[in-house]
Structure 1
Amino acid sequence: MLDLHRLKVLREVALRGSMSAAAEALGYTPSAVSQQIAALEREASAMLVERGTHRIALTEAGRILVEETRWILEQLDLADEEVKAIAGLRGGRLRIATFRSAGETIVARAMMDFHRKWPNVELTLMLGEPEEYLGRLARGEFDLALSFAYDGVPVAPPVAENLVSEPLLAEEMMIALPERHRLATATSAALADLANEPWIASTARSSVHAFTTVACRWEGFEPRIAFETDDYHIMQALVAANVGVSFVPALSRETAHPRVRLLPVRPRPPMRRLHLIIRDGGLVSPCVSEMAGLLRTATCGLRDQGP
């Protein structure tokens, strides 16, 4: 196997026409260049350069070697520049997967700040449910993701051993009421006061399907589930239509329906806990590190909503 570094030295000698000129271009001493060429000749089992008093010339074997490896070395140079660009956040791409309520709030805010600082990094965003994209994150289809866990709902086992979870935010689950509801003007709501209301909950497809039932059972009653949807915007639209009440996460306050009141739950608000998920590959890319930091910053002002 021919040494790629020595092939680059041979290319410079061919371009410059002398050992000293190649040494100056590479930042080496002429002696070091001569030693690299000699080592390459031993690897190739052929003389590659004809050494003269003032200039050198490639032998036929040397000319063929330079010509046949030119494309490979050019591609290596290009790859090296791309890696340096990514390391310096001057290029590359960052692929993010998240769920909607985080995507339209803290992730959107972090992406805006990231793009302002590093406009040449290509950002892509996939919205879905954690069970849809965490496996793809483990396989390298995304660079980082956000996930969640609800109080009282068993957390599913890790999708893959190479995923690392970092707590990002603990937020209250609030009660969404129609604007003309009898409790709409209150400053908080006790779940027991809503025991006879129709409830809107997530579907059986969701990993947190049981949350509404569990949270209501904590307060001593079985909720009557009237509608099911996994979209908090649709939940709020149904609440606004006065067909039921529902839990929504505190993040939803930023995109709340205009005809819905969101009230804190008393005496013990159930919580949703957000997690930042990345692959455990040893080295974390600068793009991932930068975005992770911006996500932490975006949630700092919301942390006081948790315990």
Structure 2
Amino acid sequence: MFDLHRLRLLRELKHRGTLAAVAAALSYSPSSVSQQLSVLEKEVGVPLLEPVGRRVRLTEQGEILVAHTEAVLERLEQARAEVAGSLTALTGTLRLAAFQTAALTLIPPALTLLRAAHPALRVHVTEAEPEAALPALRARDFDLVVAEEYPGHPHPRHLELEEVDLSQDTLRLAPPVGAGEGPAGHPWVMEPEGTPARRWAMALCRDAGWEPDVRYESTDMLLHLRLVEEGHAAALLPDLLWCGRKPTVPLLELPGGRRSRRLFTVVRGGSSRHPAVRACREALARAAEDIDRTAGDG
């Protein structure tokens, strides 16, 4: 019989990459993690790790064990959901991560709905971009993630994660205030290189036949908006930024087929039936519907 705690340490190493990262995440010392994994190797009877430079990676047998550990943990997620579902009131903590514009606009009304319906449920919210939040979800740092996907740039799918669509968020061109409507010839603000938003934005501009002069880089959409308002840069802004309010800058429609990003929630397999996860997804969906309805009325 293999020790589940040690198996989880092996799984954490696969997802986090280094002994130091595992130790930091679980509040252990690296030597303690290494010792526990050495004991696991003795239990299994074969090497589970092999050196690669100054790092280590899982052997084929280590990968096999992690795959079975994932299946065991998914069953435990299902058990946790069934136990929670047998209770009359929602309690405990739900750890939620969301990117900035969702954190600004969807999370507060969703929290209001959850507080009214489930006052004993504690929701811990972290602002995090999907490229950081989704690996953290797989590593069990979060229970639910609000993520985004840009048109023509699908994010990697993972079999152990379950996605549910939330809404479509229209993206529009915002030229610098006072600089005319043409997108070319102006400085730009975009998200940092390597992000899905940046790849989509660059492809959009290049397909239109010109290279944007990107002088400002930030994941902060409020900074993007401020630079547009002050006439310093053009930007591509999501409608979610306005949350039903009147835009403060001129907005132009983008070419067909490139106008919207997909918003969705993600959880680990086996946890989608947990009452707290279901309640949070329902609250987020209601918040998104209310925002869409307000925008439509406007």
Which category describes the TM-score, using the shorter chain as reference length? 0.5 to 0.7
User: Does the 8 A contact of 2:146 with 2:264 survive in 1?
Assistant: yes
2:251 alignment counterpart: 263
Q: Residues of 1 paired with 2:229 and 2:271: CA distance?
A: 48
**TM-score normalized by the length of structure 2:** 0.63
Q: Which runs of 5+ in 2 are unaligned?
A: 1-79
How much has 1:222 moved relative to structure 2? 2.2
User: Does the 8 A contact of 1:200 with 1:229 survive in 2?
Assistant: yes
How much has 1:106 moved relative to structure 2? 1.2
Provide the aligned length of Structure 1 versus Structure 2: 213
Q: Residues of 1 paired with 2:280 and 2:146: CA distance?
A: 12
Query: Residue 141 of structure 2: SS of its match in structure 1?
Result: coil
2:98 alignment counterpart: 98
Query: Residue 164 of structure 2: SS of its match in structure 1?
Result: strand
Q: Does 1:122 align with 2:122?
A: yes
Across the aligned residues of Structure 1 and Structure 2, the Cα RMSD in angstroms comes to 2.9
Q: Residues of 2 paired with 1:283 and 1:172: CA distance?
A: 27
Q: Residues of 1 paired with 2:246 and 2:223: CA distance?
A: 10
Q: Residues of 2 paired with 1:264 and 1:212: CA distance?
A: 15
User: Does the 8 A contact of 2:138 with 2:268 survive in 1?
Assistant: yes
Q: Residues of 2 paired with 1:234 and 1:254: CA distance?
A: 17
Q: Does 1:220 align with 2:209?
A: yes
Q: Residues of 2 paired with 1:156 and 1:85: CA distance?
A: 32
Q: Does 1:243 align with 2:232?
A: yes
Q: Residues of 2 paired with 1:266 and 1:249: CA distance?
A: 11
User: Does the 8 A contact of 2:107 with 2:284 survive in 1?
Assistant: yes
Identity %: 24
Question: Which structure 2 residues correspond to residues 149-188 of structure 1 after superposition, within 5 A?
Answer: 149-153=149-153, 155-158=154-157, 160-183=158-181
How much has 1:119 moved relative to structure 2? 1.1
Judge which range, 245-254 or 276-285, deviates more: 276-285
How much has 1:261 moved relative to structure 2? 0.6
Q: Residues of 1 paired with 2:170 and 2:109: CA distance?
A: 20
User: Does the 8 A contact of 2:177 with 2:250 survive in 1?
Assistant: no
Judge which range, 142-151 or 205-214, deviates more: 205-214
Q: Residues of 2 paired with 1:110 and 1:283: CA distance?
A: 18
Who wins on radius of gyration, i.e. which is larger? 1
Q: Which runs of 5+ in 1 are unaligned?
A: 1-79, 184-192
Which of residues 255, 274, 278 in structure 2 aligns to 1:289?
278
Query: Residue 244 of structure 1: SS of its match in structure 2?
Result: coil
